[in-house]
């Protein structure tokens, strides 16, 4: 390979990598747990998914519960069911009848009790980790209207894409030959390099998908949508979305009330017949109670059609089917890309197996990041590098590692904290997580020992992780075997996940400590070199 190009790839990979490393680690670590967002919510609130089959859900009752708080006339209503949790999301837009002044809203509703809960109050650790993974808490920095956190995360995701491409170019020639090379007991530099390249190659497709789709989610609106709308759609992002997002149609509001109360259950039942073999996921009512009312119901079956949801749209005035898109019909490119971007990023297409695999790949991504920082540090820790620069590098790596590895015990502790405090709301989760994280990071930074940082975080995180299912059992009585007997798969998933994570890190801790002891013995013995 051209030596100049090689060195340029190498350098740009290093610089872009070291700039994004800490934030990218936070994104990956929190994001890995966010795959289990709904399960974490059910686990924390101890509300197992009691009604797995949502096809019998009483839609009229949901509507009536919503109507208790506001006049529904002229609003668009969105009801979303999730097969993994009994928590449904329900929202209402502002009314198109301008005489109805009160705003709409976003709620959660329980599938068994139909109790309405507002977003803020039912905030949970799953939601926190999910939003942390695109830096939503940092949006406050930009003030109103400027989504600082999202844009920063988007920038990091894009630089990550750049780092993936340059990293692949650097490693290109050795991509096959070095794949099987793993020398954990040689000098540290080779250990970090082997981890970085081997895991980097294994996770490459996964990382690439996440870099691209992540950038899309966070910065596409200001960087792509708005400029495109300006030159192609007369400056209106609304009309752009209407033409490009499947299912985004504007139905005219006629401002004439219907003389009957719509029976949503009838539509819901009928849609089940029409979309047989697929699971109903959401029901949207446009212009509720108006002569221009439409009811749109969609369903998915990813085994039969990976990217195409089936939909049926009813005319609310006549009750007749206006448009039916069966689940098996040949899909359009637009729909395929639209759902593919979502499915690939959220890993919602293959049940728990895929999400567990995604979780492991996400954690592998974290290890790729950390080993990258370690290569950067070790490669610069040489005599020919000025003392001042070396000290700076050491501090930087020290801060990076303390903050990122410290996240593990903090996350484990947060699971225990929200379990012990049943009233844990957003304020509690924020202050617990961020303060403990800050304190731990400062303590680790002051101790200035990367080996001890890793060792102790593995131990504390491992102990806390193993304790999580025990605390859950003590607080709620839902021990692992109880959940198993009752089929509370969501609660069980979190308990088992932490058991495995905890045991794995305790074993790793043991190996690390043993290795270090052997090294010390070797150094002390007179025959040692």
Partner 1 sequence: MPANKKHLTASPWQRLLKVTAAFVGGYMVSMSFHLLLMAFMDRTTVFITMRFSVYILWAALMVIAFLAKNGWKIWGIYLGLSLIFFLPYLLKMMGK
Q: Is 204 in the site for partner 1 (CB under 8 A)?
A: no
Q: Is 224 in the site for partner 1 (CB under 8 A)?
A: yes
Considering only residues 70, 136, 165, 445, which one is a binding residue for partner 1 as defined by CB under 8 A?
A: 165
Rank residues 6 and 253 by Cβ distance to partner 1 and give the closer one.
6
Q: Is 236 in the site for partner 1 (CB under 8 A)?
A: no
Q: Is 240 in the site for partner 1 (CB under 8 A)?
A: yes
Q: In whole angstroms, how far apart are CA 342 and each of 99, 238, 279, 307, 345?
A: 37, 20, 18, 10, 5
Q: How many residues bind partner 1 (CB under 8 A)?
A: 39
Judged by CB under 8 A, the stretch of 22-30, 64-72, 225-233, 298-306 that binds partner 1 is 225-233
Please say whether the beta carbons of 271 and 299 come within 8 A.
Answer: yes
- Map the footprint of partner 1 across residues 49-108, applying CB under 8 A: none
Please say whether the beta carbons of 295 and 313 come within 8 A.
Answer: yes
Q: Is 8 in the site for partner 1 (CB under 8 A)?
A: yes
Rank residues 341 and 445 by Cβ distance to partner 1 and give the closer one.
341
Cα atoms found within 13 Å of the Cα of residue 207, Cβ hemisphere only: 27
Cα atoms found within 13 Å of the Cα of residue 480, Cβ hemisphere only: 13
Judged by CB under 8 A, the stretch of 159-167, 365-373, 446-454, 507-515 that binds partner 1 is 159-167
Q: Classify 290 as helix, strand or coil.
A: strand
Considering only residues 19, 341, 436, 496, which one is a binding residue for partner 1 as defined by CB under 8 A?
A: 341
Provide the minimum distance between the beta carbon of 231 and partner 1 in the complex, in angstroms, as a whole number: 5
Between CA 344 and CA 205 the distance in angstroms is 11
The strand order across the sheet containing 294-300 reads 116-118, 105-110, 87-92, 77-80, 279-286, 294-300, 310-315, 321-325
Considering only residues 30, 40, 161, 429, which one is a binding residue for partner 1 as defined by CB under 8 A?
A: 161
Site track for partner 1 across 243-262, x = CB under 8 A:
xx------------------
- Map the footprint of partner 1 across residues 367-386, applying CB under 8 A: 379-380
| 61, two tokens | 């009752």
Q: Is 215 in the site for partner 1 (CB under 8 A)?
A: yes
**Among 209, 211, 201, which Cα is nearest to 163's?**
211
Rank residues 239 and 508 by Cβ distance to partner 1 and give the closer one.
239
Rank residues 112 and 242 by Cβ distance to partner 1 and give the closer one.
242
End-to-end C-alpha distance for the chain, whole angstroms = 39
The runs of H, that is alpha helices, within 35-124 are 37-45, 59-67
Rank residues 223 and 436 by Cβ distance to partner 1 and give the closer one.
223
Rank residues 371 and 472 by Cβ distance to partner 1 and give the closer one.
371
Rank residues 140 and 334 by Cβ distance to partner 1 and give the closer one.
334
Please say whether the beta carbons of 211 and 162 come within 8 A.
Answer: no
Using the structure block, give the residue that is written with the tokens 């003392």: 387
Please say whether the beta carbons of 424 and 126 come within 8 A.
Answer: no
- 444: exposed, middle or buried (Cβ count in 10 Å: 0-12, 13-18, 19+): buried
Q: How many C-beta atoms surround the C-beta of residue 392 within 10 A?
A: 12
Between CA 459 and CA 438 the distance in angstroms is 19
Considering only residues 11, 173, 323, 519, which one is a binding residue for partner 1 as defined by CB under 8 A?
A: 11
Considering only residues 21, 86, 139, 213, which one is a binding residue for partner 1 as defined by CB under 8 A?
A: 213
Q: Is 7 in the site for partner 1 (CB under 8 A)?
A: yes
Characterize the bridge pairing of strands 279-286 and 116-118.
Answer: unpaired
Provide the minimum distance between the beta carbon of 292 and partner 1 in the complex, in angstroms, as a whole number: 25
Rank residues 232 and 303 by Cβ distance to partner 1 and give the closer one.
232
Q: Is 228 in the site for partner 1 (CB under 8 A)?
A: yes
- Map the footprint of partner 1 across residues 169-188, applying CB under 8 A: 169
**Among 75, 76, 121, which Cα is nearest to 98's?**
75
Judged by CB under 8 A, the stretch of 38-46, 99-107, 330-338, 459-467 that binds partner 1 is 330-338
Provide the minimum distance between the beta carbon of 233 and partner 1 in the complex, in angstroms, as a whole number: 8
Q: Phi and psi at residue 290, in whole multiples of 5°?
A: -100, 160
Tell me the sheet residues that pair with 117.
Answer: 108
Considering only residues 33, 158, 267, 432, which one is a binding residue for partner 1 as defined by CB under 8 A?
A: 158
| 410, two tokens | 């903090």
Rank residues 122 and 213 by Cβ distance to partner 1 and give the closer one.
213
Considering only residues 22, 212, 369, 377, which one is a binding residue for partner 1 as defined by CB under 8 A?
A: 212
Q: Is 338 in the site for partner 1 (CB under 8 A)?
A: yes
Considering only residues 28, 273, 300, 334, which one is a binding residue for partner 1 as defined by CB under 8 A?
A: 334
Considering only residues 14, 95, 307, 411, which one is a binding residue for partner 1 as defined by CB under 8 A?
A: 14
Between CA 525 and CA 529 the distance in angstroms is 9
Q: Is 426 in the site for partner 1 (CB under 8 A)?
A: no
Provide the minimum distance between the beta carbon of 3 and partner 1 in the complex, in angstroms, as a whole number: 7
Q: Classify 284 as helix, strand or coil.
A: strand
Considering only residues 65, 82, 93, 220, which one is a binding residue for partner 1 as defined by CB under 8 A?
A: 220
The runs of H, that is alpha helices, within 96-187 are 125-132, 139-142, 148-171
Q: Which residues bind partner 1 (CB under 8 A)?
A: 3-12, 14, 158, 161-162, 165-166, 169, 211-213, 215-216, 220, 223-224, 227-228, 231-232, 240, 243-244, 333-334, 337-338, 341, 379-380
């Amino acid at each position: 390979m051209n030596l100049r190009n090689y060195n340029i790839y190498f350098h740009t990979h290093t610089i872009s990598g070291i700039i994004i490393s800490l934030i990218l680690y936070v994104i990956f670590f929190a994001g890995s747990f966010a795959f289990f967002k709904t399960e974490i919510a059910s686990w924390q609130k101890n509300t197992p998914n009691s009604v797995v089959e949502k096809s019998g859900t009483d839609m009229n009752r949901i509507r009536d519960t919503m109507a208790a708080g506001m006049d529904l006339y002229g609003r668009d209503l969105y009801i979303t069911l999730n097969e993994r949790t009994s928590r449904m999301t329900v929202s209402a837009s502002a009314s198109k009848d301008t005489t109805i002044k009160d705003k709409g809203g976003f709620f959660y509703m329980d599938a068994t009790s139909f109790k309405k809960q507002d977003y803020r109050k039912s905030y949970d650790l799953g939601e926190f980790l999910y939003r942390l993974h695109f830096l939503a808490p940092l949006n406050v920095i930009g003030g109103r209207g400027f989504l600082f956190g999202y844009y920063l995360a988007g920038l990091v995701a894009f630089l990550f894409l750049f780092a993936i491409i340059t990293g692949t170019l650097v490693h290109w020639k050795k991509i096959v030959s070095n794949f099987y090379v793993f020398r954990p007991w040689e000098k540290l530099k080779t250990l970090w390099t082997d981890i970085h390249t081997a895991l980097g190659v294994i996770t490459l497709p996964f990382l690439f998908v996440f870099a691209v789709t992540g950038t899309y989610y966070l910065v596409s609106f200001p960087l792509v949508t708005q400029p495109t709308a300006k030159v192609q759609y007369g400056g209106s992002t609304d009309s752009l979305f209407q033409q490009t997002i499947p299912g985004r149609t504007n139905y005219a509001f006629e401002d004439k009330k219907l003389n009957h109360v719509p029976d949503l259950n009838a539509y819901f039942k009928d849609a089940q017949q029409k979309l047989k073999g697929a699971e109903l996921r959401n029901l949207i009512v446009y212009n509720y109670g108006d002569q221009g009312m439409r009811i749109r119901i969609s369903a998915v079956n990813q085994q039969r059609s990976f990217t195409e949801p089936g939909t049926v749209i009813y005319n609310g005035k006549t009750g007749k089917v206006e448009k039916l898109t069966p689940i098996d019909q040949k899909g359009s490119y637009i729909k395929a890309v639209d759902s593919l971007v979502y499915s690939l990023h959220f890993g919602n297409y293959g049940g728990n197996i895929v999400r567990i695999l995604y979780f492991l790949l996400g954690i592998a991504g974290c290890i790729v990041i950390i080993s990258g920082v370690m290569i950067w540090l070790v490669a610069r820790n040489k005599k020919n590098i000025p003392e001042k620069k070396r000290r700076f590098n050491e501090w930087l790596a020290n801060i990076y590692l303390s903050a990122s590895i410290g996240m593990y015990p903090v996350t484990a502790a947060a699971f225990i904290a929200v379990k012990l405090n049943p009233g844990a709301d957003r304020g509690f989760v924020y202050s617990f997580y961020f303060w403990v994280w800050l304190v731990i990071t400062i303590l680790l930074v002051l101790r200035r020992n990367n080996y001890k940082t890793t060792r102790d975080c593995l131990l504390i995180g491992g102990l806390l992780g193993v304790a999580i299912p025990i605390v859950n059992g003590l607080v709620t009585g839902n021990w692992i075997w109880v959940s198993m007997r009752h089929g509370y798969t969501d609660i069980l998933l979190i308990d088992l996940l932490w058991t495995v994570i905890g045991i794995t890190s305790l074993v790793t801790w043991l190996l690390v400590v043993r290795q270090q002891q052997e090294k010390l013995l070797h150094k002390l013995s007179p025959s040692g070199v």
